[in-house]
Structure 1
Amino acid sequence: MPQTPSQREIAHDLLATHGILRLAELRDAGVTAATVSRMEKDGEVIRLARGLYQLPDAELDANHSLAEAAKRFPKGVICLVSALAFHGLTDQLPKKVWMAIGRNDWTPKPSDMPIRVLRFSDDLLADSVETHVIEGVSVKVFGVAKTVADCFRHRGKIGLPVALEGLQEALRQRKATPAEIARAADIGGVGTVIRPYLEALTANG
């Protein structure tokens, strides 16, 4: 008869497959909190944050923090500077993960992971969402045109130079067309704000 895998083996296999797991997910698979605690003490797993675990030898993606944030807040969408960085549209290295959640979504408690949460209306939260797999985790990120428009919408929080850099790079790298950006800006209510910059950047072809 095949031997029943131990809780440690189950936890190891799951983490090897999925990259990052919540304690609740490990418990659902039959691994007790006590086992996970012992594994952490023995160096078999590392605790990224409260209730969030990973194997110590896991290959970290450059976007590791986005995977960690998405695991903690599955309803959230990566936005603003974090989305610009993900799409390769800024030299900024955000010290925190910028994440959009719904108006009535549960507010994340302060934790050892720096996450900056913004509340979006349901319409704006559902618009132009892409799903990317990072370290085995499905991560929702706003598309390029919407990210640029959102940066102008929240320029008071991130600074106009960052929003302008995102716009310039999106056009230069041809990751979004002027028409796509203008449409996203209109939907976000910043069409009149972004248009002069868009016209100036596209005037020379």
Structure 2
Amino acid sequence: MRARHDSQKAQLISLLETRSMMRAQDLREAGISAQTIARAVEAGEIDRISRGVYQKRGVEVEENQILAEALMRASKGVIAMVSALAFHGLTDQMPRRVWMAIGTSDWAPVQSYPPLRIVRFTQPYLRQGIEHHVISGLDVPIYSIPKTLADLFRNPKLVDRSVAVEGLRAALQQRKATPSAIAHAAKAGGAWKVMQPYLEALTSNG
């Protein structure tokens, strides 16, 4: 029995060295028992960083790791709105919750850590403009800059218009998105009528 536990513990550590963070469900599917996980936590060999999510002790925390942690709680979600804007470096705001878009009928996780701000998008809005970024060894879907701007302008009841305008101005000044790409996403995302006067004003001087 002891040998089996030691074997599982070695496998557990190996898995967390490879993937940085893993859910308890994924560890159990890999053959790691709940008892082995609990003992590793008690021994200080791994950390429980949020509900059902584990990480090897001493691993350096990556920038934006909280986005990867959020994805592990809502695997069908996409990092959206202010969190996507912050990831792309287009706002000084540090959202207290991770903004995540899910489908209208998708299950929403119970609140724990990291705290989530769930928004529900209908098709095809949910699957437009998704980029994939590797954070803490995980493939994290995040909306592109043009898509994020369209969402912000389309949803003034969720985010103040000043945040959307700030993001648009920053995207243009930093040349992280072209006016044509932003306009195309706004038209596809149902935000063009609202965004158009702002985009034209910000690009009128070239």
TM-score for the superposition, normalised by structure 2: 0.94
Q: Which runs of 5+ in 1 are unaligned?
A: none
Instruction: Tell me the SS of whatever aligns to 1:122.
Output: coil
2:67 equivalent in structure 1: 66
TM-score for the superposition, normalised by structure 1: 0.95
Q: 2:9 and 2:70 mapped to 1: Cα distance?
A: 25
Contact 1:71–1:137 under 8 Å retained in 2: no
Deviation string, structure 1 residues 143-171 (Cα, Å, up to 9, x no partner): 11000111111222221111111101111
Contact 2:70–2:116 under 8 Å retained in 1: yes
2:182 counterpart of 1:181:
yes
2:115 counterpart of 1:114:
yes
2:36 equivalent in structure 1: 35
Q: 2:158 and 2:121 mapped to 1: Cα distance?
A: 14
Range moving further from structure 2, 183-192 or 143-152: 183-192
Measured after TM superposition, the shift of residue 121 of structure 1 is 1.0
1:190 equivalent in structure 2: 191
Deviation string, structure 1 residues 94-144 (Cα, Å, up to 9, x no partner): 111000001111121122321000011121111110111101011000011
Aligned residues: 203
Deviation string, structure 1 residues 47-100 (Cα, Å, up to 9, x no partner): 111111111211111101101011221110000010011111111111110000
Measured after TM superposition, the shift of residue 200 of structure 1 is 0.6
2:155 equivalent in structure 1: 154
- Over the residues paired in the alignment, what is the CA RMSD in angstroms? 1.4
Instruction: Tell me the SS of whatever aligns to 2:134.
Output: strand
Q: Which runs of 5+ in 2 are unaligned?
A: none
1:25 equivalent in structure 2: 26
The one-letter amino acid paired with 1:129 is I
Contact 2:74–2:108 under 8 Å retained in 1: no
Q: 1:71 and 1:16 mapped to 2: Cα distance?
A: 17
